[in-house]
Amino acid sequence: MQVIEDAWQLQDTVGPTVATVGNFDGVHRGQQRVLETVRERATSIGARAAVVTFEPHPLSILRPERPPQRLTTRAQKRELIRRCDVDLMAIVHFTAAFATTPASPFVEDFLCRRLGVAELYVGSQFGFGHQREGNLALLQELGDRLGFRAMGVGEVRSSDEVISSSRIRQAIRDGAVAAANSMLGRAFAITGEVVRGEGRGKDQGWPTINIEPDHEILPADGVYASQVWIPTRDKVFGAVTNIGSRPTFPGSENRVLEAHLFDFGREVYGERVELSFVERLRGERRFPSATELVQQIGRDATEAREYLARQDCSSLVPTLSV
């Protein structure tokens, strides 16, 4: 996949293309349907499948006091789009100045002249341009004048509601990772570096890796059946993961993410890993003593092992570059 980092400055024509435009945060099942349509049509007419996306997320510029917590890092988003067999990813740097660009010049000068769009596919609720003045109807009107086809792609639903990035974010905040995974079409996964913790888990017989996450959003505090990919081992390990402030221990106030990996006892400090959340087992709670906590960890580990053994989790592991 060719990646154009500052596509707004592109001078040469890279078409013909069949393209889509959007944020693609999460690259969820609804967005995947758009990408599949683009890929199929590009193959059919002998064009390049292209995605136009924005960095940073437009709402982080338009609404800086309440920016969205992104579901994927830039690296994850790029890899997930690549895995949809896209030929070209054009990244437009979204700035306050760019936000004032009207829809029509964006379509005529950028999509048509520089991207050489023959067909354009967007979600049926798509909006773009200054104050979101652009929609599917405007795209179709411009297409008739400029010589390209603009089509809407039907929405994908889950539990009888339209799948959206905002809906997935809420599910993750609630700890409903299985529901989020259903909408994503894979496991919600975070990447990060393994850092040194306080060593309590090892002392209690349950060694853990502490992960400093790259992500803006994490699931609700609690215990999760999960899987951890360690690139240097090129292997995925089942795990039981805790997110929270460890209220059983006085003075533990910082929120931490720690995972006990099954059948793995090596140190991986400083390495980067990817952790996929499969199911929430319970919320975080305070125990009367460390002994009772250790006993509960044992039960959690058994439950996580059994849950992972019952599920076909192979499709849930993104195994992305970290």
103-152 tens-digit pLDDT? 888 999 999 999 999 999 998 777 766 566 668 888 999 999 999 999 99
Which of the pair, 173 or 312, is modelled with greater confidence?
A: 173
pLDDT at 317: 60
Give tens-digit pLDDT for 172-198. Answer: 999 999 999 999 999 999 999 999 876
Task: Please tell me the distance from the alpha carbon of residue 255 to that of residue 276, in angstroms, as a whole number.
Answer: 18
Structure tokens at 278: 């499969």
Portion of the chain with pLDDT greater than 70, in percent: 89
17 with 170: CB under 8 angstroms?
no
pLDDT at 321: 57
Which band of pLDDT confidence, cut at 50, 70 and 90, is reported for residue 289?
Answer: confident
Q: What is the mean pLDDT of the chain?
A: 88
Which band of pLDDT confidence, cut at 50, 70 and 90, is reported for residue 37?
Answer: very high
Name every residue whose Cβ is closer than 8 Å to that of residue 67 and which is 6 or more positions away in sequence.
Answer: 57, 59, 60
Which domains can be identified in the chain, with CATH numbers? 2-155 (3.40.50.620), 176-316 (2.40.30.30)
pLDDT at 59: 85
Is 212 buried (19+), middle (13-18) or exposed (0-12) by CB count in 10 A? exposed
pLDDT at 297: 87
pLDDT at 308: 93
Which of the pair, 233 or 192, is modelled with greater confidence?
A: 192
pLDDT at 318: 60
Give tens-digit pLDDT for 65-106. Answer: 888 899 999 999 999 999 999 999 999 999 998 888 888 889
Which band of pLDDT confidence, cut at 50, 70 and 90, is reported for residue 262?
Answer: very high
Region 297-315: mean pLDDT is 87
Structure tokens at 148: 């390209």
pLDDT at 51: 97
Task: Please tell me the distance from the alpha carbon of residue 31 to that of residue 285, in angstroms, as a whole number.
Answer: 37
DSSP result, 151-216 = EEE---EETTEE--HHHHHHHHHTT-HHHHHHHHTS-EEEEEEEE---SHHHHTT---EEEEE--S
39 Rama sector, left if φ>0, alpha if ψ -120 to 50, beta otherwise: alpha
6-30 burial by CB neighbour count: b if 16+ within 10 A, else e?
ebbeeeeebbbbbbbbbbbbbbbbb
pLDDT at 47: 97
pLDDT at 251: 57
Q: In this model, does residue 201 exceed pLDDT 60?
A: no
Which of the pair, 19 or 216, is modelled with greater confidence?
A: 19
Structure tokens at 76: 């994850």
pLDDT at 79: 92
Q: In this model, does residue 322 exceed pLDDT 80?
A: no
Lowest average pLDDT, out of 42-56, 114-128, 206-220, goes to 114-128
Which value, to the nearest 10 degrees, does the dihedral of the CA atoms of residues 230, 273, 253, 71 take?
-140
